[in-house]
């Protein structure tokens, strides 16, 4: 078999150049694509200690919120003390604290102070990228404007907060406040729509505090429709939640709503009880707006009971609060109340004056023009929202187009890269096939050389056996017969002795010839099989008294291939012969085990052993090399384990599946 010279399909360097160009193109496209993207928002750098500081002041705010609905003043004082210890350069925390303090003033209807703190918080917003805080502040400012009757500003801030809110968990409060704005404008259907949305989200979030407020506001819708049963149901649920959560502000709102409900169904005694309870709680939590609302309710009841003097006292008390708060909604409601009281007492001039003041203030805040402005504000915000969404859709379409172009380019590059890799792989496989072919040729040459060397060594051994053994025996026999033939003076006894010696030599010659013949082609294998032949060999070794030999076999089948049997028998002969000649052993053990997929032969002696690395060259020549060549013809292996003064173990394994 001739060697096949390796001829590469394409020069290796050309493939390297192609791959380099492809990788460079892909890199350039990636750089272009990344620069085509819109720049990411720059986040403000943060102090490494921000997290610990945030946790500290979040704890302060948590305590403040728990106090908020119980004692608003204590809540604010606690947070103000905490803010006094706040280090410089903490805008996010300061913004949270300003917003909370503003909310405490707002719930007490101190709108000037509330707005002051809200705008302080807004001034810090450019330094932050925290839209959640911005949503909270816009929501609070919107609620504040609603309380003061500035519904246009209120709806503007609230819609802006709703637009900015994106899974911040604040939409419930915003929707509730928008619904309250529409209730104040007596747009009850629109108000109910927003309140229902808030109610659905609140139930899903299991927010009991907000739920109480929403239920209370929904009861107002049913009170105006004179659906007292539904109003009572919602108020009962709201009151239960408020009491459970110890929310005094919600309790105050519920009692005022109960007062309105009982007043609407002409039950003044229960109305008085609830208004008085609301007034008591409002004073306790320092909420003048709710206090004024309860006092005005009491004034209306006294008016209905025709107790004008009592009604007038209550009306003056409510007006004092309205003037202090500068709440124009309370002011125009007080003027309407004064008009009705003076009408009942017969003072028509004062009644008319207060009625005109009521009409003037009401028209200023609640008129069709104001309502249209609110609707226009909502529509403008919706249009802006749609415009932003359309711009976002256009931006995404552009990004998708760019990505599609880049994907197509990358796909082409990837396909070209795959083709390049495929040709490289084919080139590599061709080179490997050439190497493998040359390796097979080299192994076959070595096997042929080993086979020739084995044949030559076998012939030398046969010649040596014939010369040293049979030749010497025949020489002695010829001498004995020549002596009888040439010397006539030999005695009868001496002739007989020589003849017997000649006969003995001839017998020895026959025995030697039989041994040589047996070594060339052991007929004992055909007669006895592999196990029988090895047992016969062990018996002859033991008879010689040179060494003690044992043989053990497991699972050997008669159907074993004859060539394998011959190889294994020769292996036993060669290995035992080496033990007798070189090992200086007293005992040798032969084991043979056959399984379903291979057959193993192990020969172990207790001789002197040897250094495998130092005598490796000797082992790869002569009989062991011949044995190895025979075993490898059957895809088998030979393993030699030996250490000086510890004996030797030789294992031969021949697979049966490939034979």
Confidence band (pLDDT; 50, 70, 90) for 374? Answer: low
pLDDT of 512 strictly over 80: no
pLDDT in the model for residue 299: 92
**What percent of the chain clears pLDDT 90, i.e. is strictly above it?**
10
Q: What are the pLDDT digits (tens) for 191-247?
A: 889 998 988 888 888 877 788 888 888 888 888 888 888 888 888 888 888 888 888
Q: What are the pLDDT digits (tens) for 599-634?
A: 999 999 988 887 766 555 555 555 677 778 778 888
Angle at 131 between CA 125 and CA 135, to 5 degrees: 95
pLDDT in the model for residue 528: 78
Confidence band (pLDDT; 50, 70, 90) for 155? Answer: confident
Distance between alpha carbon 244 and the CA centroid of its chain, in Å? 42
Confidence band (pLDDT; 50, 70, 90) for 590? Answer: very high
Angle at 252 between CA 246 and CA 255, to 5 degrees: 115
pLDDT in the model for residue 275: 92
Q: Which of 17-21, 164-168, 413-417 has the highest mean pLDDT?
A: 413-417
pLDDT averaged over the chain? Answer: 78
Among candidate residues 608, 579, 599, the one with its CA nearest the CA of residue 651: 599
The encoded tokens of residue 520 equal: 């060339």
pLDDT of 388 strictly over 70: no
Q: What are the pLDDT digits (tens) for 3-57?
A: 444 444 444 555 565 666 667 666 666 665 555 544 444 344 444 455 777 788 8
- Contact status, residue 656 vs residue 598, Cβ threshold 8 Å: yes
- Contact status, residue 155 vs residue 164, Cβ threshold 8 Å: no
Domain boundaries, the chain: 1-31+395-445, 457-520, 528-655
Q: What are the pLDDT digits (tens) for 641-654?
A: 888 888 899 999 99
Q: What sign results for the dihedral spanned by CA atoms 119, 124, 129, 132? A: negative
pLDDT of 333 strictly over 70: yes
More confident residue, 549 or 131: 549
Alpha helix stretches (DSSP H) within 305-327: 308-325
Q: What are the pLDDT digits (tens) for 289-324?
A: 888 889 999 999 999 988 988 999 999 999 998 888
Q: What are the pLDDT digits (tens) for 561-578?
A: 888 888 888 888 888 888
pLDDT in the model for residue 477: 72
pLDDT of 479 strictly over 70: no
Comparing 169-173, 315-319, 439-443, 580-584, the range with the smallest average pLDDT is 169-173
pLDDT of 659 strictly over 90: no
- In the predicted model, what is the mean pLDDT of residues 140-158? 81
Q: Which residue is associated with the tokens 């018996």?
A: 539
Q: What are the pLDDT digits (tens) for 430-465?
A: 788 888 888 888 777 776 676 666 666 667 766 666
Numbers of helices and strands, H then E, in the chain: 24, 5
pLDDT of 368 strictly over 60: no
pLDDT in the model for residue 1: 44
Q: Which of 4-18, 62-76, 112-126, 261-275 has the highest mean pLDDT?
A: 261-275
Pick left, alpha or beta for residue 583 (phi over 0 → left; psi -120 to 50 → alpha; otherwise beta).
alpha
Confidence band (pLDDT; 50, 70, 90) for 273? Answer: very high
- Contact status, residue 170 vs residue 177, Cβ threshold 8 Å: no
CATH 3.40.1390.10 assigned to 528-655: no
- In the predicted model, what is the mean pLDDT of residues 498-524? 69
Q: What are the pLDDT digits (tens) for 539-564?
A: 878 876 678 889 998 888 777 888 88
User: How far is residue 199's CA from residue 194's CA, in Å, rounded to a whole number?
Assistant: 9
Calculate the alpha carbon distances from 178 to 158, 159, 183 in Å.
7, 8, 9
Q: What are the pLDDT digits (tens) for 46-86?
A: 444 557 777 888 888 888 888 876 777 888 888 888 888 88
């Amino acid at each position: 078999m001739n060697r096949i010279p390796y001829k590469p399909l394409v020069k290796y360097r050309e493939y390297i150049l192609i791959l380099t160009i492809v990788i460079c193109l892909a890199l350039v496209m990636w750089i272009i694509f990344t620069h085509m993207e819109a720049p990411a928002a720059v986040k403000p750098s943060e102090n490494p200690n921000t997290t610990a500081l945030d946790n500290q002041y979040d704890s302060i705010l948590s305590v403040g919120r728990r106090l908020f609905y119980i004692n608003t003043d204590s809540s604010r004082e606690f947070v103000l003390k905490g803010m006094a210890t706040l280090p410089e350069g903490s805008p996010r925390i300061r913004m949270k604290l300003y917003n909370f303090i503003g909310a405490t003033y707002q719930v007490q209807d101190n709108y000037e102070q509330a707005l002051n703190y809200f705008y302080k918080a807004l001034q810090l917003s450019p330094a932050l990228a925290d839209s959640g805080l911005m949503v909270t502040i816009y929501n609070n400012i919107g609620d504040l404007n609603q309380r003061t009757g500035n519904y246009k500003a209120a709806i503007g801030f609230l819609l802006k907060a709703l637009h900015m809110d994106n899974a911040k968990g604040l939409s419930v409060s915003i929707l509730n406040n928008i619904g309250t704005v529409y209730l104040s404008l007596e747009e009850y259907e629109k108000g109910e729509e927003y309140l229902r949305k808030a109610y659905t989200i609140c139930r899903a979030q299991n927010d009991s505090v907000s739920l109480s407020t929403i239920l209370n506001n929904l009861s107002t819708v049913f009170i105006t429709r004179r659906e007292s049963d539904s109003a009572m149901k919602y108020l009962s649920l709201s009151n239960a939640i408020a009491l459970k959560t110890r929310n005094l502000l919600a309790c105050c709102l519920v009692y005022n709503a109960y007062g309105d409900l009982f007043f609407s169904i002409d039950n003044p005694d229960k109305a008085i009880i609830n208004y008085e309870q609301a007034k008591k709680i409002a004073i306790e939590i320092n909420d003048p707006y709710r206090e004024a609302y309860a006092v005005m309710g009491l004034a209306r009841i006294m008016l209905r009971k025709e107790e004008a003097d009592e009604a007038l006292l209550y009306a003056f008390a409510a007006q004092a609060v309205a003037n202090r708060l500068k709440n124009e909604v309370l002011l125009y409601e007080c003027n309407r109340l004064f008009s009705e009281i003076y009408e009942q007492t017969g003072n028509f001039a004062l009644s008319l004056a207060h009625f005109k003041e009521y009409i003037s203030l009401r028209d200023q805040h609640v008129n069709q023009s104001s309502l249209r402005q609110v609707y226009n504000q909502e529509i403008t915000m919706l249009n802006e929202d749609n415009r932003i969404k359309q711009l976002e859709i256009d931006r995404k379409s552009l990004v998708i187009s760019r990505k599609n172009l880049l994907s197509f380019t990358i796909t082409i590059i990837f396909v070209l890269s795959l083709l390049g890799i495929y040709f490289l792989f084919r080139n590599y496989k061709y080179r490997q096939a050439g190497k493998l072919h040359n390796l097979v040729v080299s192994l076959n040459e070595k096997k042929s050389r080993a086979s020739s060397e084995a044949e030559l060594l076998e012939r030398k051994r046969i010649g040596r056996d014939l010369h040293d053994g049979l030749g010497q025996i025949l020489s002695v026999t010829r001498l004995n017969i020549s002596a009888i033939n040439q010397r006539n003076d030999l005695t009868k006894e001496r002739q007989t002795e020589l003849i017997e010696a000649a006969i003995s030599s001839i017998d020895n010659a026959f025995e030697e010839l039989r041994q040589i013949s047996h070594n060339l082609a052991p007929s004992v294998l055909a007669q006895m099989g592999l196990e029988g032949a090895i047992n016969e060999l062990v018996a002859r070794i033991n008879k010689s008294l040179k060494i003690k030999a044992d043989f053990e076999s497991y699972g050997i089948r008669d159907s074993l291939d004859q060539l394998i049997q011959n190889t294994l028998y020769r292996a036993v002969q060669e290995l035992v012969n080496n033990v007798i000649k070189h090992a200086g052993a007293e005992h040798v053990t032969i084991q043979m085990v056959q399984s379903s997929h291979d057959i193993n032969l192990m020969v172990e002696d207790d001789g002197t052993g040897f250094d495998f690395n130092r005598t490796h060259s000797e082992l790869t020549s002569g009989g062991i090399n011949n044995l190895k060549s025979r075993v490898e013809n059957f895809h088998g292996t030979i393993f030699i384990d030996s250490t000086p003064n510890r004996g030797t173990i030789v294992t031969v394994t021949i697979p049966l599946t490939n034979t």
